[in-house]
């Protein structure tokens, strides 16, 4: 399969892997990823080289929630580890789904997942007012309780509820 020399960078939002409140499990997210990877396979068949990036807000929130629930039994998971964990897990699902789609279509191309790191200045003024909320959505009352009880920083997120 020849490429046309064009590069497409496709950003898949972490929220797009969560179809609704009844479809949040890892298998559900794989199914959503597989549907997306079918479209990406179309692009590759059309000759594009594709780089896929993704968000991970809800997935990081799931790990944080698990960590919170288990806090009396085991150590908490640091946020950077949550990010790396979700990068690997989502990348794995994308790689598996795209590889499976390639097999169906007879495409012989490697699929690779890369986990990245970013250097962040701990004194960056953006930390005083975070702009990218993560995790599950809470009602305003639940958010106010978490802010008061646990010292969480929370913001209202685009009319969908409150998040960390």
Task: Give residue-wise pLDDT tens across range 114-159.
Answer: 999 888 898 999 877 777 888 778 999 999 998 998 888 888 988 9
Phi, psi of 48 (to 5 degrees): -85, 145
* Structural domain for 15, as ranges: 1-119
Do 47 and 93 lie in one domain? The reply is: yes
Do 96 and 41 lie in one domain? The reply is: yes
Do 3 and 56 lie in one domain? The reply is: yes
- Helix 26-45 with 79-105: angle, nearest 10 deg: 50
Do 139 and 90 lie in one domain? The reply is: no
Strands 7-12, 49-54: pairing is: parallel
Q: Residue 24 class from Cβ within 10 Å (0-12 exposed, 13-18 middle, 19+ buried)?
A: middle
Do 72 and 112 lie in one domain? The reply is: yes
Evaluate if residue 4 carries a pLDDT over 80: no
């Amino acid at each position: 399969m020849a490429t046309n020399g064009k590069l497409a960078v496709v950003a898949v939002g972490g929220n797009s892997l969560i179809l609704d409140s009844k479809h949040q499990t890892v298998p559900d997210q794989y199914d959503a990823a597989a549907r997306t990877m079918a479209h990406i396979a179309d692009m590759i068949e059309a000759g594009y080289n594709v780089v896929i990036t993704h968000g991970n807000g809800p997935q990081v929130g799931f790990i944080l929630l698990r960590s919170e629930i288990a806090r009396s039994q085991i150590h908490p998971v640091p946020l950077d580890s949550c990010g790396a964990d979700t990068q690997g897990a989502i990348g794995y699902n994308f790689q598996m789904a795209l590889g499976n789609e390639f097999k169906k279509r007879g495409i012989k191309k490697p699929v690779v997942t890369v986990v990245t790191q970013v250097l962040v200045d701990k004194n960056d003024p953006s930390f005083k007012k975070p702009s990218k909320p993560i995790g599950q959505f809470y009602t305003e009352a639940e958010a106010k309780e978490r802010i008061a009880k646990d010292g969480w920083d929370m913001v209202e997120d685009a009319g969908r509820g409150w998040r960390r």
